[in-house]
Amino acid sequence: MPEAFLWFRRVWVGSMKSIRVAHLQLGRGGRPFFIAGPCVIESERHCIRMAERLAEIASRLRVDLIFKASYDKANRTSLDSYRGPGLDEGLRILEKARAASGLPILTDVHEVAQVAAAAQVCDVLQTPAFLCRQTDLIRAAAASGRAVNIKKGQFLSPEEMRKALDKALVAGARNVMLTERGTFFGYHNLVVDFRSFVIMRSFGFPVVFDVTHSVQRPGGAGDRSGGEARFIAHLARAGAAIQIDGFFLEVHDNPRAALSDGPNALHVRKFPDLLQDILNIREASMKGS
């Protein structure tokens, strides 16, 4: 690795305390920020309705929130699983959701060819967990000028995420988040190692806890993934206690009817109370630190 970059990383990472996403300044050590929305775009009406409802909750509780939804879920258990409306239609819908809600938008990108179009609409480009080592994808997302969220693969140690971060920094990214979503624990199960957050935060960029994917049971329902939504609040509260910067939650108004990841989604009516719990615990933990 070039000596000039080693110097840059020491100076930049050591001094970085926050990142910019649209009009939001995130990761400054105060109140946490949130990334929330349905797993996938199910329809234009549903996507906009969810964005508007989450915007209202965020405004009422005075929290920073980024709306998330995917135009394509390429990593599906079964060939018959719903994937989404696709790139062009999905980005059209996300653009409408952004205008209607006023929220910044996050979506997944799966291929280098998708990055330019997604960057025209979305404020954060997310590399899915299974693609966290795809150098060309990370570099393309980083070079787009948008903020980048790199999800840690279920197969990766937190220390190895430093290499993924390096790829984004070398490509010119300045606004990067790293997200933990659980680690494989045998078949059909994930476990969260809370040491991961401490290790990844030492890299100098905000770290996000993907709470709802951490209660997923990959392939656990045979032809689809299962999940244990009853544990969402417990894990989120634990994350608040160790002062995690951001929380990623798949939120839906009818999880049982969701077209993707319903078993591990949080019902939107439970979202405000959980946010308030997180804020209260975070405030108490800050006073005690």
Which domain covers residue 210, as residue numbers?
33-288
Sequence-separated (6 or more) residues with CB below 8 Å from residue 131: 110, 137
| Total tally of structural domains belonging to the chain | 1
Question: Whole-structure pTM over 0.85, yes or no?
Answer: yes
Domain-located, residue 130 = yes
Looking at the chain, the whole-number percentage of residues with pLDDT higher than 70 is 89
Which of 74, 77, 84, 66 is closest to 125 using CA atoms? 66
pLDDT single digits (tens) 4-59? 444 444 544 445 469 999 999 998 767 899 999 999 999 999 999 999 999 999 99
pLDDT single digits (tens) 220-231? 555 666 778 999
Which of 160, 162, 182, 196 is closest to 248 using CA atoms? 182
The better pLDDT of the pair 225, 83 is held by 83
Domain-located, residue 40 = yes
Domain-located, residue 171 = yes
What mean pLDDT is reported for the chain?
90
Q: Is the pLDDT of residue 86 over 80?
A: yes
Minimum mean pLDDT among 49-53, 71-75, 203-207: which range? 71-75
Domain-located, residue 11 = no
Burial of residue 76 (CB within 10 Å: 0-12, 13-18, 19+) is middle
Domain-located, residue 6 = no
Domain-located, residue 161 = yes
Domain-located, residue 274 = yes
Domain-located, residue 13 = no
3-state secondary structure of 98: helix
Q: % helix / strand / coil in the chain, to the nearest 5?
A: 45, 20, 35
Q: Output the domain CATH number for residue 162.
A: 3.20.20.70
Q: How far apart are CA 8 and CA 206, in angstroms?
A: 18
